[in-house]
Structure 1
Amino acid sequence: MANYIVLGAQWGDEGKGKIVDMLSAKMDMVVRFQGGANAGHTVKCEGKEYVLHLIPGGIVSGKAVNVIGNGCVVDPLTFIEEVDYLRKLGVEVTPEKLLVSSQAHVVTPVHKYLDRVLNKKIGTTGRGIGPAYGDKVHRTGIRLENIPDGSFIDRFREHAETYRQISAQVYDEPFIDVDDAVRRMGEAAERMKPYIGDSVERIAEFVRRGKNVLYEGAQGTFLDIDHGTYPFVTSSSTSIGGAFTGGGVFVEFEKRIGIVKAYTTRVGEGPFPTEQNNEIGERLRKNGHEFGATTGRPRRCGWLDLKMLKRSFIINGFNYVSLSKISCLSGFETLKVAVDYNAAGEPVYEELPGWREEVEGITEWNKLPESCRNYINFIEEYLAVPLGMISTGPDRKDIIYREKLI
């Protein structure tokens, strides 16, 4: 039995959902420890596609207990929408299979309003995540424990009235309809109540009993509030440190799995040294269907940045790598990989031969084109960590295993 953690090594959208779903089938528990509905994981399983924003990816496999930890921020409206969405697709969602920490903070319609008026320059998802974390740090937030103890509606009305008064003085955009928000939040909270409990004790119990536990990261390392490209970051710790504070339990992670996309993408504003605002970027976007699962926004695309990834590996201590979307590079005559930056901060590239053959769905290493194998080996040599898993397509079975994971 072992403990695993899956983290995005870049700016998110690396393909974590597929790996989490694969591992979840063999897990007893899957834990989400940070972020909120600003994350988007697309899971494809047995011909069906599931888009998850808040609930851990282990819910699809049906075996694991899924936990939304204390480090997350939870919108009750989105939570109930996602539960209903999964049930319509035939997924069993019950309090026995899904636990939400009573210590997690609540995202409200007020937070979404504030996100719209405050964070346009950052390029957020508009889901209210940053303002919810802001209230948490200011010690004025509402926690999910306020739902079962009966104080939730009063706390929400007080919260809305405080920001209504501020809005009237500061912002031009009309404030939310408080009465309507109270009604909708009250209905969602009542339905959510059975799922709320002590996640710390439950996680600790599974770890103590030697169960297989998987921590599922959201977004990516360089959106981390401390280690990311600040201020163009999210409002939580997306790196391995967030797993300890956001789960509330010390865990020895035997496998620290970094998910690396074979090229680089990011959504929203902020620096992107290897970005290609040209035909190459468009081609990568088209090949990879690079549009956000949460917002639908087109992702910015560019060459792989190994210098940046090296930093990610220092931060997270990855000892296993899953490389995704290698099939999206088929057809390029030449591939560029950033291996350093010059004095002006511009990327220094190494050029590698591309390949014309399609590689989607290949499951044997030796069947990959030689140039594709050389590209993968170059990445592995630079990062000095085994690329144990190569994802060659969107389906769960489209995997080449070079090193055993479980």
Structure 2
Amino acid sequence: MNAVQLQQSVRDYAESIGIDKIGFTTAAPFRELKNRLKRQQELGYQSGFEEKDLDKRTEPALLLDQAESIIAIAVAYPSKMADSPRGKKGERRGIFCRASWGTDYHTVLREKLRLLEEFILEHAPEAKVRSMVDTGELADRAVAERAGIGWSAKNCSIITPEFGSYVYLGEMITNIPFAPDVPMEDECGDCTLCLDVCPTGALIQGGQLNAQRCIAFLTQSKKPIPEEFRAEFGNRIYGCDTCQTVCPKNKGKHNLHQQAFQADPELAKPLLQPVLRLSNREFKEKFGHVSGSWRGKNPIQRNAIIALAHFKEESAVPELISMLENDPRPVIRGTIAWALGRIGLDEGYVAIKEALSKEEDPEVRAELEKAADTYILKK
């Protein structure tokens, strides 16, 4: 089997194992990307989750000896949830972003790439391969763009004509010199909807994101959420889909065909107050198979507290007061102080004043003092 035949066989096999799109590109350095990443670092716009070595992020040859090509894959995920539950007073719900519905996409795509590796090695035993999904060194979006999967949009997503931007990306570096596909034309045009509606102004300009302001990244942080962003969280407890849901290119793209990513409504939109009570073990048992669990329960519980404040959910106040008095985590206590101030019940003020008489953590004390002042200003 020659290289042309192998390439077509790889395309056919990819389709047979549920890969929605596949593209090929060279393993040449991503020089323009390297300049952009340097600028992002200089501006302090990175999330902190990225590979810090820019050479590894942009030079595939450093990751695989004799690298010649990169195979890019895309697997679509749904934008709609069947039987989406509605929250109500006393039973408020949070929401995980669409990229955390169903089985963790890292698990699903890694398995598809493993099968693809086996297929290639079966037909080309001398081949070298190295695959990665999301947490690898390469920039998934840059690879997918150059391989013709879709165009790199103003909302910093890859948009495909078939599935919109609701696609997971992965790639495989190989020493096989596959023929490269042609990149797609950018079809965003003059549209700036994603920039206009970003809740925190994280999209600085088309294709440039300040991750330090992005709700999707902030929900994953383990630190206290800066106060200027808390009111913008709404009921989001993991991720943010706003820049995707407003995109005209996503209109009508429901992508319901991948069974692994179908949402369990009670997990994708969980009741908020029960989330606060989960132990580490219970959290892992309930949410451990979804991608939004990767940072553990602490950020999710902090975000649930912010969501309860968003709803001004008075029924949560007794539980929040109990946590303020007993929870060992400063980030949680500080967030509760802010939340009680937002909800505004008198018993919250009493609890805050009581907590101030005992609290030793300076950051939590500062939150308590601001919350107490919030009550005074309301009176």
TM-score (norm 2): 0.26
The structure with more strand, counted as a fraction of residues: 1
The structure with more helix, counted as a fraction of residues: 2
User: Could you say which structure has the larger radius of gyration?
Assistant: 2
